Structure 1
Amino acid sequence: MTAPIETTGSAAEAQPEAVLSGTQGERIEGRSLGRIAWNRFKKDKVAVVGGVVVILLVLLAALARPIEHLFGLDPNQFHQDLIDPNTSLPKGGMGGMSASHPLGVEPKFGRDILTRILEGSWVSLVVAFGSTILSNVIGAVLGVVAGYYGGRVDTVISRLMDTFLAFPLLLFAISISATLQGGAFGLNGLPLHICVLIFVIGFFNWPYLGRIVRGQTLALREREFVDAARGMGARGPYILFRELLPNLVGPIIVYSTLLIPTNIIFEASLSFLGVGIQPPQSSWGGMLSQAVNFFEVDPQYMIVPGLAIFVTVLAFNLLGDGLRDALDPRSR
């Protein structure tokens, strides 16, 4: 048997102090889950572009009324001098585009399209965000309750979800919106229309998130931190809202970014059918409805609001896909 080789005074005997000598003075910082997700999200350039577009759209919608007042814009101002009385089309071709009206004017009335797009942006986003918040609150609460308690509670809530999913939502929304057009609950006009749309869209869309939250809760309720909370004497409500729901924020955020564009399209569909936002208030769906009669002779009036809906929905979808990959890399 040969004796083990001993090395003295060589690199093989490097001491821990020597190994760490190059790191003196540096602090080793841990990274939170949010920071890790943010680093993943930044690497997805497409999602970042979508997020930037979403931020710009939200700012534009929030500042729509101040911008109109600042520049003296009126979305309902007629410019009959720009309309040919014989054809009801904008004069000069190109949809009446000029320095004063960069996107042209609408046929027959001559209202500025850019101003009406700006005015319609905040209506669409208010309805989309409001209905998404309503459906998320109902879906998250009922979903986590069903998943945690199980048994009869889960059965009742699950059957309630199936009932809501069985409703023909579009026909139901049309009937409710048409019934409440005159006035209800002390509201009328634009506030009533917005509140009705938020209620109809949000109240009947909560089962989609509810199913997702219920499935996630079924897995989380068996985790060690839930058992530890029970062992410390925590009651059901504390576990639901302090232990389980904070761990469900990621899926809820991702689903919200994918639900908002769906609600934008739904609101535009109802306005297109004449049971959503009513004229003279501008809305993207209402503009598309009015453009149908002039599409063949003046397609620009339909293309502009159509592009506004397309860009908004695409931006939210790209942002949602990026957030999903960042918060759950296993979903790739």
Structure 2
Amino acid sequence: MTAPIETTGAAAEAQPEAVLKGVPAQRIEGRSLGRIALLRFRRDKVAVAGAIVVILLVVLAAFSRPLQALLGLDPDSPHQDLIDANTTLPKAGFGGMSAAHPLGVDPKFGRDLLARIIEGSWVSLLVAFGATMLSVAIGTVLGVVAGFYRGRVDAFISRMMDVFLAFPLLLFAIAISASLQGGAFGMEGLPLHICVLIFVIGFFNWPYMGRIVRAQTLSLREREFVDAARGMGARGPFILFRELLPNLVGPIIVYSTLLIPSNILFEAALSFLGVGIQPPQASWGGMLNQAVKYYEVDPQYMIVPGLAIFVTVLAFNLLGDGLRDALDPRSR
């Protein structure tokens, strides 16, 4: 049944009262850009699964010590009764797996792998998040300044990015980490190792963020809202922090989520090479380093930390891809 039409001259127009007759009155609410992005993100089931895993990992890392106390786990407690004195390998099961040790125990010392995975989670995530925040802070500031002011400022910052990208980062990180193992800046032990890793990884990775922010700023500075701000008498700092930076939040968040897994892998690589987190403190890369000696006779010791790194990196990558599609659907 069609709505009644009122004809006036040559024009025919449906009356609003007729079109909406019988439809309950509802308040029409607008959707913010953030809400629209959230709805897009929720439609991506793979990204949502990655976000759930990331949240669980963050909660696990934040409450690792209380969780170990609740479960009665000790990452440094040896169980020599589970180790064969002749072969220094677990006596029974695949890698010493049992009801008391569901992920098995490490060779030689018999330490519970579940406890060491939980203990190593906060170390890996703390280093990754700290290094990412440092890279984002430096790269965002220098990138937006270079893209907005251009000219000599842009040339200087861009050449500085090229210099940092030309460094053999892994060799440089190994040299710095190895030289500061004993003590420096009034710190020693685990706090020193964590701070050194955050500085080395974060400080030498900022050019990647800087290039992305610079490219986005070059595009945004030509938009009408920047011209309007200039026409109203706004100066450079105001335009930078009140006009440009809010419009850069999306790309910064997306790239940050993609930078975290690479930093997790970098920390694991340094710990694997023996210049990162030092034993007996548990770390996923350190566990892989120790597992190299036993991978042929006890592969369980390598599989467990390897899967922990794989699942963590995959979850962050899926989350980053989902956020990119949600915040910038035209990039798909």
Give TM-score scaled by structure 1 length: 0.95
Cα drift, residue 230 of structure 1: 1.3
Match of 1:299 in 2: 299
Match of 1:75 in 2: 75
Counterparts of 1:226-305 in structure 2, within 5 Å, are 226-305=226-305
Structure 2 alignment gaps of length 5 or more? 1-5
Structure 1 pair 116/208, CA: closer, same or farther in 2 (3 Å)?
same
Structure 1 pair 13/324, CA: closer, same or farther in 2 (3 Å)?
closer
Partner AA of 1:300 in structure 2 = Q
Partner AA of 1:144 in structure 2 = V
Match of 2:326 in 1: 326
Match of 1:64 in 2: 64
Structure 1 alignment gaps of length 5 or more? 1-5
Q: Specify the SS of the correspondent of 2:230.
A: helix
1:217 and 1:7 mapped to 2: Cα distance? 53
Structure 1 pair 18/314, CA: closer, same or farther in 2 (3 Å)?
same
Q: Does 1:224 find its partner at 2:242?
A: no
Match of 2:209 in 1: 209
Partner AA of 1:212 in structure 2 = I
Counterparts of 1:156-171 in structure 2, within 5 Å, are 156-171=156-171
Match of 1:119 in 2: 119
Cα drift, residue 271 of structure 1: 0.1
Q: Specify the SS of the correspondent of 2:248.
A: helix
2:97 and 2:29 mapped to 1: Cα distance? 57
Match of 1:105 in 2: 105
**21-30 vs 265-274, which moves further:** 21-30
Partner AA of 2:27 in structure 1 = R
> Residue deviations 1:199-256, cap 9 Å, x none?
0000000000100100100010111111111122211111111110110010001101
Cα drift, residue 49 of structure 1: 0.6
Q: Specify the SS of the correspondent of 2:227.
A: helix
Match of 1:3 in 2: none
> Residue deviations 1:80-118, cap 9 Å, x none?
011010110011131111111000100000000000000
Structure 1 pair 159/14, CA: closer, same or farther in 2 (3 Å)?
closer
> Residue deviations 1:152-181, cap 9 Å, x none?
000000000000000000000000000000
Partner AA of 2:209 in structure 1 = L
Alignment root-mean-square deviation, CA: 1.3
Partner AA of 1:147 in structure 2 = G
Partner AA of 1:111 in structure 2 = R
Partner AA of 2:285 in structure 1 = G
Partner AA of 1:136 in structure 2 = V
1:283 and 1:21 mapped to 2: Cα distance? 67
Match of 1:148 in 2: 148
1:88 and 1:189 mapped to 2: Cα distance? 28
1:302 and 1:16 mapped to 2: Cα distance? 70
Give TM-score scaled by structure 2 length: 0.95
Q: Specify the SS of the correspondent of 1:157.
A: helix
Match of 2:3 in 1: none
2:230 and 2:22 mapped to 1: Cα distance? 47
**302-311 vs 222-231, which moves further:** 222-231
Q: How many residues align?
A: 324
